[in-house]
């Protein structure tokens, strides 16, 4: 068993599951979306991105691209939430929360592509 592959797979899957946990729930209800779960999804996604550096294959480049997309979406979601909570006079409204959850949905899609790539890579490795 390759410990590096286990750690890599762990962070890819953890990023996807944390993102899914945040995304789940009514899109416009702030009480159903925990800010710490969004923060956790962002941190784990950034760690997964760092782990994807160094792979010089085409599949590695696609892995990195999916991670960068997820990171960008989650950073934007955090910025929208931060603006709504700390700058906007209206606070975290249902419209602001819908934007945050929509952005995290984009990150979730990128994470799912990354998980699919991981599974394809694993299956193709066993066929060699």
Q: Does the pLDDT value for residue 124 go beyond 90? A: no
Q: Does the pLDDT value for residue 121 go beyond 90? A: no
Beta-carbon-side half-sphere exposure of residue 100 (alpha carbons within 13 Å):
32
Using CA atoms, how far apart are residues 90 and 118, in angstroms rounded to an integer?
42
* 65-69 CB contacts, 8 Å cutoff, 24+ apart: 66/110, 66/111, 66/113, 66/114, 66/117, 67/15, 67/110, 67/114, 69/106, 69/107, 69/110
Q: Does the pLDDT value for residue 40 go beyond 70? A: yes
Q: Does the pLDDT value for residue 123 go beyond 70? A: yes
Q: What is the pLDDT of residue 55?
A: 81
Residue 69 binned pLDDT confidence (cut-offs 50, 70, 90): very high
CA dihedral sign, ordered 63, 68, 71, 72: negative
Across the range 15-19, mean pLDDT stands at 96
Structure tokens at 112: 């799912």
CB 99 within 8 A of CB 80: yes
**pLDDT single digits (tens) 71-103:** 999 999 999 999 999 999 999 999 999 999 999
């Amino acid at each position: 068993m390759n410990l590096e592959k286990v750690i890599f797979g762990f962070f890819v899957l953890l990023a996807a599951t944390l993102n899914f946990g945040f995304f789940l729930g009514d899109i416009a209800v702030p009480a159903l979306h925990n800010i710490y779960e969004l923060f956790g999804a962002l941190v784990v996604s950034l760690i997964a991105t760092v782990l994807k550096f160094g792979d010089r294959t085409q599949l590695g480049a696609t892995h990195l691209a999916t991670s960068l997309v997820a990171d960008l979406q989650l950073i934007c979601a955090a910025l929208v939430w931060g603006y709504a909570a700390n700058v906007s006079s209206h606070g975290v409204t249902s419209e602001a929360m819908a934007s945050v959850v929509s952005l995290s949905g984009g990150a979730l899609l990128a994470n799912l592509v990354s998980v699919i790539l991981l599974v394809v890579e694993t299956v193709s490795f066993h066929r060699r």
